[in-house]
Amino acid sequence: MEIIFFLTKDAKSNENWIKHAKPELKRKNVHYDVIDISEEISIKDFLKEILRVIDENDEVEIDITHAFRWFPMVLLVAAMYLKEAKNSKITGIWYGKYYKDKDETRALNKREVLEFIDWLYAAKLFKEYAYTKSLASLIKVKIKEEKSKNGKFKKDIKKLNDLRKNLERLSFYLRLGSVEELKKNINNLVECLNNREFLYEIEEFIPELSPQKV
């Protein structure tokens, strides 16, 4: 495991770093590296610095708790880029939230932001290019998650599973160029999309897609 801090000059001289973070890291014998960055660094150069220290297939966790000004936005873009271009597994986007009434800080994982983007992109591919593979794959993962939560396949997500099958078949027949099967599958898909039970399942299990009105 490798821990890297991107610190501005002010951050390095701040007592939070000098009196708290550094001593705690030393006490726990945590090895880390520090990369100096300017407060005036451009978005492009900041991304370059991040990408420079990440290798292919790395597992990455990002802490944005004390990120400077617009840096969290860039870190989100970097996470998206790493996921696609370097096949990185982004396991956490962490934010340390302080609860004043309890005088404690809890680490909150906000990785669902990336998952939301995945759904939006898959829906865009489907709506604009009829590319169904990405959407079908995400639905398959979602169904698997629901099965693991409940221990068995729920009838509540039957229509969602029907949609997954229709999307997979549509992708297959598009590649195959089978006109008759395409017609049949498109009719089945339209029927599925217009089903009220399906719309309920979308709102219940995939709220990321609900505003899209797939």
Q: Give me the torsion for CA of 130, 136, 142, 147, rounded to 10°.
A: 150
Convert 51-80 to b/e letters by CB count within 10 Å (16 or more is b).
Answer: eeebeeeeebebebeebeeebeebbbebbb
Eight-class DSSP state of 151? S
Are 105 and 159 part of one and the same domain? Answer: no
pLDDT for residue 151: 55
Judge if 94 and 133 occupy the same domain: no
131 shares a domain with 64? no
The maximal CA–CA distance of the chain, rounded, in angstroms, is 71
* pLDDT mean by block of 10 residues, the chain; 214 residues: 88 89 91 90 86 89 80 83 86 87 87 84 83 85 75 62 81 74 79 76 74 50
CB 3 within 8 A of CB 33: yes
Give me the phi and psi of 79, to 5 degrees please: -60, -40
How far is Cα 123 from Cα 82, in angstroms, rounded to an integer? 21
Q: Looking at residue 36, which CATH number applies to its domain?
A: 3.40.50.10770
Domain count along the chain: 2
Same domain, residue pair 206 and 125:
yes
The domain in which residue 25 lies consists of 3-110
Domain-terminating residue out of 110, 132, 150: 110
